[in-house]
Structure 1
């Protein structure tokens, strides 16, 4: 039976996968969003359900002061002797000028996960390999100043995080830029080293080499790259950063990231895709159909069709937020609550706005589909300067809002657009009430912003905005668009809280 890529749409990049029996688990990068590193579960490799996050506590993940697209890079997930291990890099950027690699572990991937074990290891994209003789290896990229670009490795003491052997360069790749994202596997007497090359843009590719020992020397596959959609007409592009898994029926599969550009610009982020892996008679793998990832592909024999899309209507009645909600960096506890008003999400707007590299009162989910609608019922009594509403957010320099605000003693509904240094209130309408339903509708090329009075059927359009101005090619960075609820005092603490009775993400495709 065929399935449709991406299998996890939206901003879910750098997938890493492992198997425990007939259960499959997958993690992704989250950069400056909190909680960090979502964990997904599947029984068929196609239908995935989020079951938690690896990094849910400030003690595990401190993101304060980080610029957009800093934070958590490229995790690897592995299962060994009853424990799940997630290893990753926290890049501090300009906040403290460095990076730290660490791992956490859990006896179940839904958590809770341990506090970090920090490693004496530079670079990014660390991966763990558990060999049959009990030795554990860490593999990653160049990191020290002056180190040649390539893949580095050492034996590591897992409990202490200390290296047990010298750090050494084991492969420089096939000549593509930025050799990264390494994973080591042992199969049929060979050690296979899978990496990404070409940069995480349109030249991205997956390459592989093998050796009779874990430290090399590594021989490159004659058919490299074993996966790349560069210079093709495929609807999914920039495929790379893959991880392999052998299914419980013996078949092989690869997960990898890819993008779905609209007129050579993509705004949903890098997404998780799946491809079959075939092995040649001489022992080399090829992913996809002729080393290409297609939008529609043949699934595993144990895949029996797509599950219905999950409803994303949240009435905020639970004690905790649903797993799909995120914050920008570590949220301030005083900024939000599910208990202050039962059955409502309460946001206390602070001096922090969506233009700041800080944590505003902002609760958001990823936009996962080109055609979708995000709406919420807001109850808010703004004073001058206070505002609350919905945002389409890429980063602090590229976002759109529809909001209820106070100006000179009057209340208004506004549509604001920001694209770099261009920042404007595009539309504004007087509004006497304190309760309103706000809606953002998306299609492939843009967004429309409208509002509705409770109890009425008519929607009132405020305006439109282009998705291309929120694309990675314009806004930069490594993330994708979020849709969310926010409140702010615009430089001061808002005097009144904003209450959201419900929020609804609805697929229109």
Structure 2
């Protein structure tokens, strides 16, 4: 069955929790990276030849020396970043807000799908959303949002890349149009001028993209008379919170922009559950200013379904852990599957993958014991716990915990049983699904319902609004997590995800 063509104005090029996109091009190859907050490995990186079909090629920050755990709190960790190519190398600069002493973190490589360098830290640059740009003489400019000597704003400094120190004191540059939270600066040299792109209005419904230009990196800057150049605020558009953009010159000499946005649903004020996703627009230059064409790109989305029996010698890059490390939680078995364990480091002890669709079904096949949940963070999650021959459905919403139902499964289903054509022997199939909301009243209408079941028996059906950013707060999106439970060994044999 063929998949329908969609507009990039209404459907993300990278769906699910992939915020703060940053893009660069080398020849005909495009590379895209994202913030990842408390999840490790951090900063997922993708490759494309056409800007609309993206393949994940790894995680930039895959060693703890690059991404210090710090306080490990939800929505901490790796914030907004910039990915650039200069003089034969790729550079990635980001903020680890969980580690107060790092300032900004810079890593580099010749191959973005390979190993990235040990970090250079810039402790003098306190704040978030750093950017790197170079002038014709090779001088490197670090621009970021933060504070210097107690003064908040968008700052810039000439950086010694080898030492992580500034060659002269940093200085304030353009502070935006006056909207709240000017941040996410990106600096470009285009057509003999310097352009400074910002996100303003906060990363919620008021989000917007603004731009200014100058003859020198430090300014003074002239604001675009048509600011904001991109926003959906106060419109009925199904995609909202548009902002945090990055520009790229295309291989054919045109221009494009990647930006973050959300797809809210349910009754007012609407609720987004997948986090901030990555969208694409065309860009034209008119009188020296960018004009965004949101409807330029149409494409057929890639299939998001996958199945993993964990027969590979190592975990694929989709598997990450909140405030811990996958290697501390899961070990591949010689015959396939994973042995799961509690890491003992105070983290949730979960191996996670991103939810990428508004409607979906996922199943985890265990033996012995195990747990399977869908979560926004530690305090907003629904899940199933298999231990001592029983599966329990449970929920946590803020400070409230609830046990919702249970089923005795013994050692699992009968030998020779199958689920959707797969032999499952004596294993237990835990299943989560996001389905259409069954609201009794208009005000109960949410983005979806979450159904929790075991071996085909439904144990609970829960309101999806409580696993949304509007309720949970923070910067992440829904994740599916598996982990150990109970006193018996926890063995995960198979994991399957299917869009609805």
Could you state the TM-score of these two structures normalised by the residue count of structure 2? 0.90
Deviation at 1:507, TM superposition (A): 1.1
Kept in 2: contact 1:349–1:498 (CA 8 A):
no
Deviations 1:87-140 (A, max 9, x none): 000112xxx655521100010111200011011311111100011221110001
| Aligned residue number for residue 441 of structure 1 | 433
- Give, in whole Å, the separation in 2 of the partners of 1:195 and 1:501: 46
**Structure 2 CA distance for aligned equivalents of residues 188 and 336 of structure 1:** 51
Partners of 1:111 and 1:30 in 2: how far apart? Answer: 19
2: CA distance, partners of 1:230 / 1:334: 43
Match of 2:74 in 1: 68
Match of 2:249 among 241, 246, 251: 246
8 Å Cα contact 1:348/1:487 also seen in 2: yes
Residue of structure 2 equivalent to 1:283:
288
TM-superposed deviation, 1:142: 2.4
User: Matched residue pairs, number?
Assistant: 465
Residues 1:500 and 2:484 aligned together: no
Shift of 1:145: 5.7
Question: How many angstroms apart in 2 are the aligned matches of 1:151 and 1:13?
Answer: 20
Deviation at residue 497 of structure 1 after TM alignment? 2.0
List structure 1 runs of 4+ shifted beyond 4 angstroms.
Answer: 96-99
Moved more, 164-173 or 1-10: 1-10
Task: Provide closer, same or farther for how the CA distance between residues 241 and 404 of structure 1 changes in structure 2, counting only shifts above 3 A.
Answer: same
1:222–1:155 CA distance, 2 compared to 1 (3 A): same
2:457 maps to which of 455, 460, 463: 460
Residue 399 of structure 1: aligned partner: 381
TM-score using structure 1 length: 0.88
Contact 2:329 2:483 in 1 (8 A): no
**Where in structure 1 are there 5+ consecutive unaligned residues?**
290-296, 353-357, 383-387, 453-458, 490-494
Residue 213 of structure 1, CA deviation: 0.8
Does the 8 A contact of 2:328 with 2:343 survive in 1?
no
Query: Which residue among 339, 346, 349 is the counterpart of 2:339?
Result: 346
In structure 1, the residue matched to 2:443 is: none
Alignment of 1:30-179 (within 5 A): 30-63=36-69, 65-92=71-98, 100-119=103-122, 120-144=124-148, 146-148=150-152, 150-179=153-182
1:178 offset after TM fit, Å? 0.8
Counterpart of 1:492? none
- For structure 2, the 5+ residue unaligned runs are 413-426, 436-446
* Alpha-carbon distance in structure 1 between the residues aligned to 2:336 and 2:208: 47
Following TM superposition, by how much is the alpha carbon of 1:175 offset from its aligned partner in structure 2, in angstroms?
0.1
Shift of 1:496: 2.6
Report the RMSD for the aligned CA atoms in angstroms: 1.7
1:62 shift after superposition? 1.9
Q: Which residue of 1 aligns with 2:212?
A: 209
Q: Name the CA distance, whole Å, in 2 between partners of 1:448 and 1:500.
A: 21
Residues 134 and 398 (structure 1), Cα distance of their counterparts in 2 relative to 1, 3 Å cut: same
Q: Relative to 1, partners in 2 of residues 1:307 and 1:393: Cα closer, same or farther, differing over 3 Å?
A: closer
One of 368, 377, 393 as aligned partner of 1:415: 393
Q: Residues 307, 8 of structure 1: CA spacing in aligned structure 2 closer, same or farther, 3 A cutoff?
A: closer
**Could you give the per-residue CA deviations for residues 129-178 of structure 1, whole angstroms, max 9, x where no partner exists?**
01122111000112246314x31111111112111122000111100111
Residues 1:362 and 2:350 aligned together: yes
